[in-house]
Amino acid sequence: MDKLMPIGIQDFKSLRQSGYLYVDKTRWIYPLLAEGYREEMKFPPYFLSRPRRFGKSLLLSTIRYLFEGEKELFEGLWICDKWDWDKRYPVIMINMPNCGDKIGLIERMSNRLRNIGEEKGVRLEGEDPIVLFENLIRGLSEKYSCRVVVLIDEYDRPILDNIEEPEKAKEVREYLKGFYSLLKDLDEYLKFILLTGVTRFSKAGIFSGLNNLKDISLDPRYGNIVGITQEELERYLGEEIKRHNVDLEKVKEWYNGYSFLGDRLYNPFDVLWFVDSGCVFKDYWFSTGTPNFLIKLIESGNFYIPELSNLVVGEEMMDRFDVENIRPEVILYQAGYLTIDEMIAEEGFIEYKLRIPNREVRQALNKFLLEKMTDDRLDVGLSKGLSRALREGDIEGIKDWVKRLFESIPYHYHINNPMGQYEGYYASVLFSFFMSAGYEVRGEDVSRRGRADIVVLAKDKVYVVEIKTDANEPAIKQIEERKYWEKYEGAGREIYLVGINVDSEARAVKEMEIRRIE
């Protein structure tokens, strides 16, 4: 391997000076900076939202060294002969700290700002981060007789650290409003501002005082500014992947698929770890974070997992992350468990069709959800047994394994979970199981006569599944009457109808019927 993989390296200077691989993103960064780079112009303040470990910190660090004029770091990169290296600006780069509460945030922010001031030769006194921040900006502008660049990474981290304690989260949010509002008040001292984070809080929330903020999160011009495109993967990592006799199409299936209205992208963390680990397929990105908020949503009964495969949201939903009203589809998108499949623009209205980005997330997320819905007691043999039965069209085997799956739900979990009384819970369990097994699964599958709960595409077979809880008639009757399977006829696949009646009190299959359409 010619270059070291920069896993966890977020400082551009360290990366370039230590021989790490750098996927040159400067041609995507340049349009963001070029328009306002002339001395007499000022940029609007920018905001970029991307999932965790997607390259946001390295982006800010790269921009930092551009404004500081460190030309030697950019030798050989696209931007090197296009940038005016004679112009230099002081840069304040802040990585927002994690914190336990508002008091912890104030303490850590104060220390961080005083350290920056000491590094830059500006003496700061006091304990309030807002006062320290203002004095740092004014002091640098006066010292260097020019405007100041402000880069803030993980602007939302103090809020997300408290997301499971709404009162603490709101208290932290209200304080940060004042901190970020300062950027508008000091406009005359500022040249360029970029904030990055995972979530897109509504402008009426955390950014109410910074109402001139320009959100570039879904601007196609900056869709590839972080992440790795297919062309970049093949150019920088293709030879190493081929050296391990790995098919690039399989890599694409596993890790490609994120979209922010630009090209389909890889999460850099995934592919760098993949290559560094000898091209072994694993859930590298997913395993670094636990989506505990999903468990709370499941337990609340306000989350129907099959909808993940068939979500369409309005434009207004894409930036509506509020502590008081957390929408499952919004946080799933912003956290990286869903991505944009298609933008639908019609008569002045914009909607976004969402999907799970790739095989890694599809399998790992649904395995995680399934284990939590069955209280971590899911037998691995269940997965293998039911998967094999589906591939072979083994009707009795399918019945047996589905019964075992539902019987694996512990009694105490069923009693404590209000969703356990509804068919949506059992549909969610089955949906997550099929997904975690690697099948193409469609939830709430639309046909001209209604929606099937689940459709499973298992190679040359299609399974149309309907689930009913405590119903007086067989679930398969609804499939037969509404002919949900008709859309799959003529494709050369065997079609099976699967009706499952569940006794919610016994947490077991009461009746299950499977018929093949001849």
* Residue range 142-162, pLDDT digits in tens: 999 999 999 999 988 888 877
User: What is the per-residue pLDDT for 56?
Assistant: 95
**Once rounded to an integer, what is the mean pLDDT over residues 495-509?**
84
Tokens (6 digits) for 211: 């109402």
In angstroms, the CA 502 to CA 422 distance is 9
Write the DSSP symbol of residue 416. Answer: H
Specify the DSSP element, H or E, that contains 452.
Answer: strand 450-458
Angle at 293 between CA 292 and CA 295, to 5 degrees: 70
* Residue range 345-362, pLDDT digits in tens: 877 788 888 888 999 998
| Structural domains for the chain | 12-198 (3.40.50), 228-287 (no CATH), 370-517 (3.40.1350)
Q: What is the Rg, in whole angstroms, of the alpha carbon atoms belonging to the chain?
A: 26
Axis crossing angle, helix 359-373 with helix 423-436, rounded to the nearest 10: 140
In angstroms, the CA 446 to CA 424 distance is 17
* Residue range 455-467, pLDDT digits in tens: 998 878 999 999 9
Specify which residues 273 forms β-bridges with.
none
Nearest to 229 by CA among 261, 265, 280: 265
Q: Please, where are the H alpha helices in 186-266?
A: 230-243, 248-255
Helix (H, G, I), strand (E, B) or coil at 84: coil
Integer angstrom CA distances of residue 329 from 51, 161, 320, 332, 363: 14, 20, 11, 5, 18
Nearest to 310 by CA among 455, 488, 123: 455
* Residue range 24-70, pLDDT digits in tens: 999 999 988 876 555 455 677 899 999 989 999 999 999 999 999 99
For the chain, the average pLDDT equals 84
Going by DSSP bridges, is the β-strand pair 256-258/339-346 parallel, antiparallel, or unpaired? unpaired
Q: Please, where are the H alpha helices in 76-165?
A: 102-120, 129-144, 157-160
